[in-house]
Structure 1
């Protein structure tokens, strides 16, 4: 692994940590503002249902 790749992995891990620290109100606000689009054709109905359920849990 190159030094650049190592740094990218560290940066990505830090970004994930920062994103996980959003408050419940922030999550609800972001979900309320999202654009609703049709799911990708490659997604199974079960996968779509799981994602929709997770969104409802946070809304």
Structure 2
């Protein structure tokens, strides 16, 4: 997320969430599946009008 901030994205617009345990993309019975499930999903939220005030 520091990369986004260094590109002038306001930190309040950034969200991150680890989803590997609660929303796996693959089965956890193999190493390949566990590797696919190790992830963090990030979102950049829209700019609010009052951010420019």
Q: With the length of structure 2 as denominator, give the TM-score of the two structures.
A: 0.23
Higher strand share: 2
Higher helix share: 1
With CA pairs under 8 Å and 6+ residues apart, which has the higher RCO, 1 or 2? 1
Q: With the length of structure 1 as denominator, give the TM-score of the two structures.
A: 0.21
